[in-house]
Amino acid sequence: MIPVTGVYVLNGPNLNLLGTRRPEVYGTMTLPDVEELCREEATRLGLDLIFHQSNHEGRLIDWIHEAGARVKAGEVIGAVFNPGAYTHTSIALHDAIEGTELPVVEVHISNVHRRESFRHHSYISPVARGTIVGLGTDGYRLAIDALHRMSLT
């Protein structure tokens, strides 16, 4: 069996606009900055980083399927997932995570519970191992660490 060496970080729609879209809400770090932050944390834990972003729901589902299969093969520990606005709308992403049994930590840069009421409901949270909200981009680092700790138990 191949040793577990990887972690996925998946990002949904509009996260490619980090650094320019509403910096008062999402901060000034760009998506490449977030990728570097994640790579540093993964490396610290001895993990390879698989980092993706898409504005397309189907592509995210494909990566969830891929990650789920790789978890079952013992190659990766799971996925950190910031589904963006799909958090509040996508039963399909919920079903993909549930169907693949992918260990997921859901991440949101802003505190969605302090924002518009339509952002208060998540279709992802019920199938996630945990959720980190409102801690800025540092939430990604914390989520990678949490997945790693969960994989050791």
The model's pLDDT over 95-104, given as tens digits with 9 standing for 90+, comes to 999 999 999 9
| 131 phi and psi angles, rounded to 5 deg | -140, 135
What's the rounded Cα separation, in Å, for the pair 103 and 11? Answer: 15
Catalytic residues: 26, 108
- Tokens in use for 10? 């998946």
3-state secondary structure of 132: strand
Residue 109 assigned to a binding site: yes
3-state secondary structure of 81: strand
Strand partners, 9: 51, 80
Mean pLDDT throughout 6-24? 91
pLDDT digits (tens, 9 = 90+) for 107-133: 999 888 776 676 668 999 999 999 999
3-state secondary structure of 114: helix
What's the rounded Cα separation, in Å, for the pair 125 and 105? Answer: 9
Residue 82 assigned to a binding site: yes
User: What DSSP assignment string belongs to 29-78?
Assistant: --HHHHHHHHHHHHHHTT-EEEEEE-S-HHHHHHHHHHHHHHHHTTSEEE
Nearest to 126 by CA among 87, 90, 94, 101: 94
pLDDT digits (tens, 9 = 90+) for 35-84: 999 999 999 999 999 999 999 999 999 999 999 999 999 999 999 999 99
Lowest mean pLDDT segment, chosen from 29-33, 111-115, 145-149: 111-115
Residue 138 assigned to a binding site: no
pLDDT of residue 43: 96
Residue 122 assigned to a binding site: no
pTM: 0.92
pLDDT of residue 22: 77
